[in-house]
Amino acid sequence: MLLSTAYFPPVAWLALAARDMTLSPDRVLPSRVQLEACENYQKQSYRNRCYILAGDGPQMLQVPVVHGAPAEILLPGALLCDSVRANASGRRISAIRVDYSTPWVVRTQRALDTAYETAAYYEYYRDGVFALLDAHPETLWELDLSTIRFLLDQCGIACSLVPTPAFAAPGTLADDFRYTLHPKHQDTVLQELGLDKPYYQVFRDRLGGFTPRLSALDLLFNEGPDSIGWLLNYT
């Protein structure tokens, strides 16, 4: 399966990552996800934003990035695409730097506290989430990867993440979901996986029902260790 990177990815991203995982009483077989490391950076996408549920509805949390042509960066644990070596000005996703010139980390942490202070499992996961942000990774790739791994681990999803060594044009590979999930476009991923169903949300009654298409943080803070059962359709 081929997925784009994402900042605290949406529930549908995690559901796709969990799709091919085998979980049984005697063994766990991890799924395998290829992470797109060689595309050009996509603005206004889940690559640098996520959505949480505040008291007045969905709230966007955005990671600012440094504009202009990035220098070539060799990422720990990832391959540097040939296309990046050939054209360092191409703004490849793996070379985009995070902009820490504004206090967005503090604002994000305050927003999470305000939105989820009464969620059943927020206090259990809060320090881990805050530590990811306080680490100030240099690149968006490193930040996204840390949030993805955190959610996979805490939700109980066994998944092998493999960066792509080269860019493949859309439509040329099977199981390609890189551009399916987008905050401005509706998708049918959860419906196709049989997961078009609600889970508990703090502000459900105030907002008149379930709010979909949020970061998997929303699922984790509300469902905690039961998140894996929801994702695998056991509940």
Could you tell me which of 131, 132, 159 has the C-alpha nearest to residue 144? 132
Q: 85 pLDDT exceeds 60?
A: no
pTM of the model: 0.91
pLDDT tens, 174-221? 999 999 999 999 999 999 999 999 999 999 999 999 999 999 999 999
pLDDT at 82: 52
The fraction of the chain above a pLDDT of 70, given in percent, is: 90
Mean pLDDT of 134-153: 98
Helix (H) or strand (E) holding 160: strand 159-163
User: How many beta carbons lie within 10 A of that of residue 164, not counting itself?
Assistant: 19
pLDDT of residue 80: 53
Domain containing 124 equals 2-231
| Strands lying side by side in the sheet with 159-163 | 2-3, 31-35, 159-163
Asked if residue 47 has pLDDT above 60, the reply is yes
> What pLDDT was estimated at residue 203?
95
Question: Would you place residue 30 in the very low, low, confident or very high pLDDT band (cuts 50, 70, 90)?
Answer: very high
Q: How many domains does the chain have?
A: 1
